[in-house]
Amino acid sequence: MSDPLLSSLRIAASGLQAQSTRMRIVSENIANTQTTGQTPGSDPYQRKTVSFQSELDRLTGAEMVSVRNVGRDAAPFVVEHDPGNPAADENGYVKMPNVRMLVEMADMRDANRAYEANVQVVKQAREIINMTIDLLRN
């Protein structure tokens, strides 16, 4: 059996890594909200999504979180009339990315809060470990 405090640190670290990946993907989506295709009628940037999975850590026997995959959102592209755009088709319509800023901001806030919660777990575990070391010294 492994040390519960060390297990909690490993669990929190897996959460930090997963949420960090989620924040990176959300940042990519936000950065590409206006990225159209290169040629007329081509597809624009397609929103990325992150899915997580739970997996057993054999060393600690604890459930860890990890990124299952980074996928693509199947939502349809928004079509706008912009005849001057190089990606416009013969009728002047351009396919715009299926990224919605409100959804991305909500995802970013949720990932940020989950990240902060995992940081607090790490801080608390460190504090308890330090208190234990202090008790052993005295």
Residue 4 to residues 11, 45, 49, 62, 90: CA-CA distances in angstroms? 10, 44, 33, 9, 64
Q: Which residues of 3-39 are buried (b: 16+ CB within 10 A; e: fewer)?
A: eeeebbbbbbebbbbbbebbbebbeebeebbeebbee
Predicted local confidence at residue 50, as pLDDT: 97
Full domain range(s) for residue 51: 4-137
Query: Which helix or strand (DSSP H or E) is residue 56 part of?
Result: strand 48-57
Q: Structural domain tally of the chain?
A: 1
Q: Return per-residue pLDDT of the chain as tens, 138 residues.
A: 478 888 899 999 999 999 999 999 999 999 999 999 988 888 999 999 999 999 998 877 889 999 999 999 999 999 999 998 889 999 999 999 999 999 999 999 999 999 999 999 999 999 999 999 999 998
